[in-house]
Amino acid sequence: MVERRKPIPVEEAIERVMKFAKKGEVEKMPLAKAYGRHLGEAVLATHDVPPFNKSPYDGFAIRAQDSREANLQNPVEFHVVEEIGAGTVAKRDLGPFEAIRIMTGAQMPVGGDAVVMLELTKEFEKNGEKYISIKRSFQEGDNISFQGEDAAKGTTLVEKGTKITPGVTALLATFGYAEVAVAKKPNVGVYSTGTELLDVSQKLEPGKIRNSNGPMICAQIERSGGVPLYFGSLVDDFDQCYQAVKEALEKVDVLITTGGVSVGDYDYLPAIYEKLGAEVLFNKVAMRPGSVTTVAQLDGKLLFGLSGNPSACYVGFELFVHPILKTFLGSEKPHKEIVHATLMADFPKPNPFTRFVRTRITQKEGRFVVEPSGLDKSNVVSSLAFANGLMKLPGGTRGFASGDQVDVILLEDYHGVY
Amino acid sequence: MVERRKPIPVEEAIERVMKFAKKGEVEKMPLAKAYGRHLGEAVLATHDVPPFNKSPYDGFAIRAQDSREANLQNPVEFHVVEEIGAGTVAKRDLGPFEAIRIMTGAQMPVGGDAVVMLELTKEFEKNGEKYISIKRSFQEGDNISFQGEDAAKGTTLVEKGTKITPGVTALLATFGYAEVAVAKKPNVGVYSTGTELLDVSQKLEPGKIRNSNGPMICAQIERSGGVPLYFGSLVDDFDQCYQAVKEALEKVDVLITTGGVSVGDYDYLPAIYEKLGAEVLFNKVAMRPGSVTTVAQLDGKLLFGLSGNPSACYVGFELFVHPILKTFLGSEKPHKEIVHATLMADFPKPNPFTRFVRTRITQKEGRFVVEPSGLDKSNVVSSLAFANGLMKLPGGTRGFASGDQVDVILLEDYHGVY
Measured between beta carbons, which residues in chain B are less than 8 angstroms from residue A217?
166
Contact B184, B25 (CB under 8 A): yes
Nearest residue, CB atoms, A262 vs list B104, B173, B381: B104
Architecture category of domain B27-49+157-183 in CATH:
Alpha-Beta Complex (3.90)
Check CB contact under 8 Å for B206 and A52.
Answer: yes
pLDDT at B380: 66
pLDDT at A373: 65
Check CB contact under 8 Å for B162 and A385.
Answer: yes
Architecture category of domain A27-49+149-183 in CATH:
Alpha-Beta Complex (3.90)
Give whole-number Cα distances, B353 to A55, A257, B165, B199, B223, in Å.
Answer: 21, 56, 38, 33, 28
Contact B174, A381 (CB under 8 A): yes
A164: phi then psi, degrees, rounded to nearest 5: -85, 100
Check CB contact under 8 Å for A107 and B215.
Answer: no
Q: How far is A281 from chain B (nearest CA, A)?
A: 23
Rounded Cα distance, B270 and B283, in Å? 8
Q: Is the dihedral of CA B309, B311, B316, B317 positive or negative?
A: positive
Give whole-number Cα distances, A66 to A63, A70, A96, A112, in Å.
Answer: 6, 8, 7, 11
Q: How far is B135 from chain A (nearest CA, A)?
A: 17
Instruction: Kindly report the number of other CB atoms within 10 A of residue A349's CB atom.
Output: 11
Give whole-number Cα distances, A54 to B193, B211, B404, in Å.
Answer: 18, 16, 35
Rounded Cα distance, A244 and B238, in Å? 64
pLDDT at B105: 82
Q: Which residues contact A327 (CB under 8 A, 6 or more apart)?
A: A18, A21, A22, A23, A334
pLDDT at B260: 84
* Nearest chain A alpha carbon to B32: A215
Half-sphere exposure of A181 (CA within 13 A, CB side): 13
Residue ranges of A 160-189 with Cβ closer than 8 A to chain B: 162, 164-178
Check CB contact under 8 Å for A201 and B223.
Answer: no
Contact A328, A252 (CB under 8 A): no
* Nearest chain A alpha carbon to B107: A207
Residue A92 identity: R
pLDDT at A265: 60
Closest CA to A49 of B357, B310, B258: B310
pLDDT in tens, A53-96: 999 889 999 999 999 999 999 999 999 999 987 678 899 999 99
Measured between beta carbons, which residues in chain B are less than 8 angstroms from residue A166?
216-217, 219-220, 223, 314
B215: phi then psi, degrees, rounded to nearest 5: -60, -40
Residue ranges of A 269-298 with Cβ closer than 8 A to chain B: none
* Nearest chain B alpha carbon to A410: B414
Largest separation between any pair of C-alpha atoms in chain A:
108
- Of the residues A384, A388, A390, A406, the best mutation for testing chain B's interface (the one with the most B CB atoms within 10 Å of its CB) is A384
Residue ranges of B 3-42 with Cβ closer than 8 A to chain A: 31-32, 35-36
Check CB contact under 8 Å for B212 and A176.
Answer: no
Asked if A226 is an interface residue toward chain B (Cβ–Cβ < 8 A), one would say no
Contact B215, B87 (CB under 8 A): no
pLDDT at A5: 83
Burial of B130 (0-12, 13-18, 19+ CB in 10 A): middle
Check CB contact under 8 Å for B384 and A43.
Answer: no
Beta-sheet pairing, B197-198 with B209-210: parallel
Rounded Cα distance, B378 and A149, in Å? 5
pLDDT at B2: 45
Closest CA to B99 of B123, B119, B72: B123
Asked if B50 is an interface residue toward chain A (Cβ–Cβ < 8 A), one would say yes
pLDDT in tens, B349-406: 788 899 998 899 999 888 999 987 655 554 567 777 889 999 999 988 778 999 999 9
Contact A164, A182 (CB under 8 A): yes
Measured between beta carbons, which residues in chain A are less than 8 angstroms from residue B52?
206-207
Q: How far is A198 from chain B (nearest CA, A)?
A: 9
Q: How far is A299 from chain B (nearest CA, A)?
A: 30
- Of the residues B28, B368, B384, the best mutation for testing chain A's interface (the one with the most A CB atoms within 10 Å of its CB) is B384
Nearest residue, CB atoms, B167 vs list A387, A405, A410: A387
Contact A66, A76 (CB under 8 A): yes
The DSSP string of A195-251 is TTEEPTTSPP-TT-EE--HHHHHHHHHHHTT-EEEEEEEE-S-HHHHHHHHHHHHTT
| Residue stretches of chain A with pLDDT short of 50 | 1-2, 376, 378
Check CB contact under 8 Å for B414 and A416.
Answer: no
Asked if B107 is an interface residue toward chain A (Cβ–Cβ < 8 A), one would say yes
Check CB contact under 8 Å for A35 and B218.
Answer: yes
Check CB contact under 8 Å for A197 and B87.
Answer: yes
Give whole-number Cα distances, B222 to B22, B127, B325, B385, in Å.
Answer: 19, 70, 10, 16
Dihedral angle over CA of A287, A290, A296, A302, nearest 10: -110
Q: How far is A359 from chain B (nearest CA, A)?
A: 11
Rounded Cα distance, B218 and B185, in Å? 14
Measured between beta carbons, which residues in chain B are less than 8 angstroms from residue A172?
200, 215
**pLDDT per position in chain B (418 positions), as tens?**
345 688 999 999 999 999 999 999 999 999 999 999 999 999 999 999 888 999 988 999 999 999 999 999 999 999 999 998 767 889 999 999 999 999 888 899 999 999 999 999 999 999 999 999 999 999 999 999 999 888 889 999 999 999 999 999 999 999 999 999 999 999 999 999 887 889 999 998 887 889 999 999 999 999 999 999 999 988 778 898 899 999 999 999 999 999 988 766 667 899 999 999 999 999 999 999 999 999 999 999 999 999 988 889 999 999 999 999 999 999 999 999 999 999 998 888 788 899 998 899 999 888 999 987 655 554 567 777 889 999 999 988 778 999 999 999 999 999 998 8
pLDDT at B1: 39
- Of the residues A101, A149, A160, A174, the best mutation for testing chain B's interface (the one with the most B CB atoms within 10 Å of its CB) is A174
* Nearest chain A alpha carbon to B377: A150
Check CB contact under 8 Å for B410 and A414.
Answer: yes
Q: How far is B383 from chain A (nearest CA, A)?
A: 8
Measured between beta carbons, which residues in chain B are less than 8 angstroms from residue A381?
45, 49, 150-151, 157, 171, 174
Contact B58, B118 (CB under 8 A): yes
Contact B223, B336 (CB under 8 A): no
- Of the residues A120, A284, A363, A364, the best mutation for testing chain B's interface (the one with the most B CB atoms within 10 Å of its CB) is A363
- Please check whether the domain covering A10-24+185-328 is classified as CATH 3.40.50.2000: no
Closest CA to B406 of B376, B371, B380, B364: B371
pLDDT at A264: 66
Residue range A59-134 forms a domain whose CATH class is mainly beta
Q: A33: which DSSP letter?
A: G
- CB–CB contacts below 8 A, A to B: 342
Check CB contact under 8 Å for B414 and A413.
Answer: yes
Check CB contact under 8 Å for B105 and A43.
Answer: no
Is the bond preceding residue A166 a cis peptide, omega within 30 degrees?
A: no
- Please check whether the domain covering B10-25+185-328 is classified as CATH 3.30.300.130: no
Contact B213, B312 (CB under 8 A): no
Residue B398 identity: R
**Secondary-structure percent of chain A, ordered helix, strand, coil, rounded to 5:** 20, 35, 45
Architecture category of domain B338-410 in CATH:
Beta Barrel (2.40)
pLDDT at B160: 96
Check CB contact under 8 Å for B414 and A386.
Answer: no
Check CB contact under 8 Å for B414 and A417.
Answer: no
Closest CA to A326 of A253, A388, A257: A253
Domain ranges, ordered by start, for chain B: 10-25+185-328, 27-49+157-183, 59-134, 338-410
- Of the residues B196, B261, B314, the best mutation for testing chain A's interface (the one with the most A CB atoms within 10 Å of its CB) is B196
Beta-sheet pairing, A254-258 with A187-193: parallel
Contact B29, B179 (CB under 8 A): yes
Measured between beta carbons, which residues in chain B are less than 8 angstroms from residue A309?
56, 104
* Nearest chain B alpha carbon to A259: B104
Q: A318: which DSSP letter?
A: I
